[in-house]
Structure 1
Amino acid sequence: MEDQFRSINKNLQKLGSFTVNDSRIYTTLLMIGLSSPAKISEKSQVDRARVYDSLKRLVKRDIVEEEPVPRAPRYRAIPPEKVFGQIRNRLKNKIKLAENLEKQLKNIKYVKPTENNSVWSIQGEGKIRKQFKQFLEDAEKYCMIILTLDNSAPSIRELENIADLLLEKRRTNPSFSIRVAMKILKESREQRGIINQLFHSNIEVYRWNAGSILPFGLYLTEKTFIQTFLSNMTPKPNYAYGIFMENASDEQLIGFQHMCLWVYSHLCQKVMFKKKEQ
């Protein structure tokens, strides 16, 4: 039963509408019914403060209902058939829109780019993550990553998203080499669980030891790279600007390879867990 719920929670997160805590709380409410935050915290094993954050999100998305009382409301899960009916309808609308746009855009003459080794700027955290996902899908041999603070800690959801991409890449290409360095928080059990999963999938993880702030981030494959830069410090470290190169040559990538290896060996410590018995 426990394995089944673990699988359900993982799949809920893949939908993009649920964080780790959101999925635990929703499945818990389905089992226990109308409940207080205190009881939800106890049954789901989610910290009390995190429970309030998740409930607020879930209520806003019409996944959980809040009791209409002025003080100490209780909560209950909206039935799965209603929740996922709404999700299916949204996806159907997006698919229909995409199909219509594809037909319309086919009528526009497309000129394929001929430039080689073009360097482009990229702005916005969402665009950077989308570009990295595309680069990772296209890569065939390896990926070296230096994760910025906003993607490694304390933003567990972003780390989960990146971990899912890396684990999927390993599943589809077992010989694909992956190394990733990040800031690790000793007090974060959720982060430790993600890192443990990466380690046992033969992904090399390195703990960033050089101070508390990473000044840059890097995503490198055998074909290209994305480098991001620290944009501001308040209210939290932000890396919303970067550059990437199309059709990079081996000579252009070798410097970034050396930089990654130097960071791993001089500014980081390799993370080790006890290997699971086969």
Structure 2
Amino acid sequence: MNDDRKQGVSNMLQQFGFTQYESQVYRALITIDQAMDATSIVKRSEVPRSKVYDVLRRLVKKGIVLESTTEKKRLYTALPLHLTIEKLKADFEWNVQALKETKMKETPVDDRVWTLKDNQSIQVSLKNLVQKAGSSIFISAWADDVNAILPFLEEKHHAGLDVTVHVIGEIETIIPNTSTLIPDTEHSKLERSRILIIDQMEMLFAGVEDAEWQAIHTQSRPLVKFFTEFFYHDVALTEITRKYKDTIMNDNEIRDILLKLRY
């Protein structure tokens, strides 16, 4: 083996995480067609005697050097180069697969509650959250608010996300999980509001206070859970009202209690 090829072997091993001494010992063994003892390896590899036994032990453990004891003398030989290359390829592929399967470090949850004012800012934030969603979207809002982001909601539905819509007023949509409440004069106390929950991890709730839109935005798990239940509360009330409207509206006590609730 010429000097360039010897150096190539050494460089290859170092690129795969072998130390310089490990590379020198392997190169010394692979370039001679006979087993050698530690003394011969020291001379041929130029690795210090004080280091050679530790280096050989590591190479044996890594499986690219073989050892044998004959007449109380320990001999070493190298795994053939083509087999070493196959081993290194297999190790690399195994490490790549292990890396792919490694669970990425989770980003710490920001459980702070952020307040947001101004209607336009709230609408922009709603659109951004919808686009950010990766698995599910729950939204409850009035028809004009839903229509403003409906193309994004339908796009997410096409992508396979679980999209559930609760809307006050009529909309036309391909999203099957849509619950619609058509308000009438009996619903004069309905409040304008918006709830958006994405991936069951992040939510925005907006309402009108003193004639101005205000919102809270958070990843707080307790609040996300609370507003998810609140969302289903809205859906349940809508379906109850739709299915039993005549019964409800003819019972003054039930009607008065129901109409005090927020949809």
| TM bracket (short chain) | 0.3 to 0.5
TM-score by length of structure 2 reads 0.43
Whose radius of gyration is greater, 1 or 2? 2
